Amino acid sequence: MTLRVLLLMAGVAIGSAANAAEIGATYPAGSIASRDQAQAALAEAQTAAKDADATYRKEVERCAGVFLQNQCTQDARRKRDAQMREIRRVEVEAREVKRRVDADERAGNRAKSDVDQKAATAPKEPTAPKEPDAPKAVTAPKAPPDAAEREAKQAEKEKEAAANRERYQQKQRTHAEEEAQRKQKEADEAAERAANVKAYEEKQETAAAYAKRKEEDRIANEKRREDRRIERERKQKELDDQAKPAKQ
């Protein structure tokens, strides 16, 4: 087990509570290259899935008390779905890496077994008579395992994984900026709609108050006209009553 893998496993153990928003950045596509990494990714994906569900439930409870409840709930659901897609992607890649590593090991073991079996069953060649004065053949040293090549390949994989992480993180940053702009736009539009509703309600209240005043003025005018009519009739009656004795 290489030092890098040990450090990776230690980091996973320390940060095993990493939330669902981080797992995609921790394991971008193509970054899992060994069984140890795959096992660590599967363990962290399980924790991240629980974290995503718990966060979603808390967010739905919070949305119950906000102004735009449906919009808030939809945003929470979209965020949880995006996190679960990343978690499933990491799980699928980790399981595929484990399957491929296991298959490679089985194939290597079979090949080694076949070589050992052939060596055991192969007929031994007769030993040539030894010439006393013949010089001993120099046995060529066995070639050491190609550790340098393996290290180079591993370094190349890690370099590619780092590049993938950087691309993924940049993509996440861009997405976060776009999401922030979208939410800001929605908030501005909601504020504008609220302002329009308030202005309309104020306009309706003003119109209702104006209509009420007009109706009150109409009623007052009719009452004044009726009072003047009654007063004219009263005065006319008085004049008529005063005129009656004069006629007699």
- pLDDT tens for each residue of 27-54: 888 889 889 999 999 999 999 999 999 9
Q: CB within 8 A of 44, min separation 6: which ones? A: 12, 16, 18, 23, 26, 27, 90
Residue 176 is predicted with a pLDDT of 84
CB 176 within 8 A of CB 55: no
pLDDT on residue 177: 85
Q: Write down the pLDDT at residue 61.
A: 93
What residue ranges of the chain have pLDDT lower than 70?
1-21, 122-145, 245-248
Q: Which two tokens stand for residue 78?
A: 């979209």
Cβ-contact 129, 62 below 8 angstroms: no
pLDDT at 125: 57
pLDDT (0 to 100) of residue 91: 93
- Note the pLDDT of residue 135: 53
pLDDT at 121: 75
pLDDT of residue 39: 92
Residue 4: predicted pLDDT: 44
Give the per-residue pLDDT at 106: 87
pLDDT the model gives residue 136: 54
3-state secondary structure the chain: CCHHHHHHHHHHHHCCCCCHHHHHHHCCCCCCCCHHHHHHHHHHHHHHHHHHHHHHHHHHHHHCCCCCHHHHHHHHHHHHHHHHHHHHHHHHHHHHHHHHHHHHHHHHHHHHHHHHHHHHHCCCCCCCCCCCCCCCCCCCCCCCCCHHHHHHHHHHHHHHHHHHHHHHHHHHHHHHHHHHHHHHHHHHHHHHHHHHHHHHHHHHHHHHHHHHHHHHHHHHHHHHHHHHHHHHHHHHHHHHHHHHHHHC
Query: What local confidence, expressed as pLDDT, does residue 200 receive?
Result: 92
Which residue, 19, 162, 20, 15, is CA-closest to 85? 20
Q: Given this model, what pLDDT does residue 59 score?
A: 92
Rounded to whole angstroms, the Cα distance separating 171 from 25 reads 10
